[in-house]
């Protein structure tokens, strides 16, 4: 017996749900950021599973592009986090709810 495609899809859905829960529950900006990375990885697992089971390389190419977008997001997001921390001395999202300092 081998793992079916649906097993991978179920695992991916669970990981994505855990990531969504983290984004909603967490208050630290960096922790929310890491939960977003978790959601991206769950989607990547779906892409790779479909690509392997349907013998199509397109899914793996999209994983590649998603990884690049995640790297760009990490660079810009962490730059924003550093700017917020420099201005407000806090990483709590509730402290950064207004644009005015």
Partner 1 sequence: MLVLLFILFGGLAIGCAINVVAQRNPLYCAISLIGVFMSLACLYLMLAAPFIAAVQIIVYAGAIMVLVVFVIMLLNVEQEEKRRIRTGFLVPVAVVLAGLLIGEVAFVLWSVDPNPTLQSSDIGLTSSIGAALFTSYLLPFEITSILLLMAIVGAMTLARRTDVLSPEARVIPGAQVLALSDIDPRASHDVQTPIITDSSAEAAALLGLAGKRDQSKRD
Q: Using CA atoms, how far apart are residues 91 and 85, in angstroms rounded to an integer?
A: 6
Backbone angles phi, psi at 92, to 5 degrees: -75, 130
Interface residue with partner 1 among 43, 60, 97, 99 (CB under 8 A) is 60
Write the CA distances from 42 to 50, 63, 70, 82, integer angstroms.
13, 11, 13, 27
Q: How far is the CB of 95 from partner 1 (least distance, A)?
A: 12
Give residues in contact with partner 1 (CB under 8 A). Answer: 1-11, 13-15, 17-19, 21-22, 25-28, 30-31, 33-35, 37-38, 41, 44-45, 48-49, 51-58, 60-61, 63-65, 67-76, 78-83, 85, 91
């Amino acid at each position: 017996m081998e793992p079916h495609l649906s097993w991978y899809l179920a695992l991916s859905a669970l990981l994505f749900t855990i990531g969504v829960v983290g984004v909603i529950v967490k208050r630290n900006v960096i922790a929310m950021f890491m939960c977003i990375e978790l959601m991206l990885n769950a989607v990547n697992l779906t892409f790779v599973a479909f690509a392997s089971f349907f013998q199509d390389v397109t899914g793996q190419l999209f994983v590649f592009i998603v990884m690049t977008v995640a790297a760009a997001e990490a660079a810009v997001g962490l730059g924003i986090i550093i700017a917020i921390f420099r201005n407000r001395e806090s990483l709590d999202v509730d402290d950064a709810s207004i644009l005015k300092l």
